[in-house]
Copies of this chain bind each other. A is one copy, B any other.
Amino acid sequence: MATDRDTVLEAAVGVLSRRPTAHLDEIARAAGISRATLHRLFPGRDALIREIGLLGLRRFASALDTADVERGDAEAALRRLVDASVPDAMLCAFLAGENQLYEHEDINDLWEVQIARLHALFLRGQQQGVFRIELSAAWLSEAFFDLVAGVGWSIQDGRLAPRDAAFSLAELFLGGALRRPDTRTPAGATAGSTAHSTATPVHSTSDHRPDTDKP
């Protein structure tokens, strides 16, 4: 059934995210194809894993693009990112569990780039006064990605309804990551959904804290 490469990769993720040592037999069966066809699509196990990683990173990068995370209010950007990431949560789950052990140079580079973009988003949010500064941007990045992965696992196991995924993720994470209303502008921050160009008086450039950097 799944003759498309990406479809096979997604099926493979469903198995490998849970059982990293699964045999190619299982993966092929999960994808609904034979081991021979699997070999015709991907030269070997290494290539398969590698392509899964690449697919996950491409999807996540695409989510970052779609969400346009580099611009606008950081909270709104993050909400957009949540919506864009959730559909590919399972891919992210795979990446989270297996990330740095990739021996492939290019994959690591791609990974670093995406993490850097996420990191920059949180850093910008902190500078805007949107995100808490007691929590390092590195930790926020890590936590966000782990929660996306958790969403993927939960959905896969049927513990979380796909409909609730984006809401659950955004609410839990933003609740912990946003600066409390009492310390920032009380009114506008919660507007969430249709928030983007509304008159949200987020302390943009006024309250700059040259929070130098650092993970």
Contacts and interface: CB of A to CB of B under 8 A. Distances in A.
A200 interface: no
A61 interface: no
A213 to B, nearest CB: 14
Contact of A164 (B174, B190, B194): B190
Among A157, A174, A178, A190, max chain B CB count under 10 A is at A190
B181 A181 contact: no
B97 A171 contact: no
A101 B30 CA distance: 15
Nearest to A45: B21
A134 B192 contact: no
Q: How many copies of the shown chain assemble into the complex?
A: 2
Nearest to A139: B168
Among A98, A135, A146, A188, max chain B CB count under 10 A is at A146
A139 B190 CA distance: 22
Interface string A133-165: 011101110110111011001100101100110
Nearest to A172: B176
A164 B184 contact: no
A193 B184 contact: no
B167 A186 contact: yes
Nearest to A178: B175
B132 A142 contact: no
Interface of A: 18-21, 96-98, 100-101, 132, 134-136, 138-140, 142-143, 145-147, 149-150, 153-154, 157, 159-160, 163-164, 167-168, 170-178, 180-182, 184-194, 215
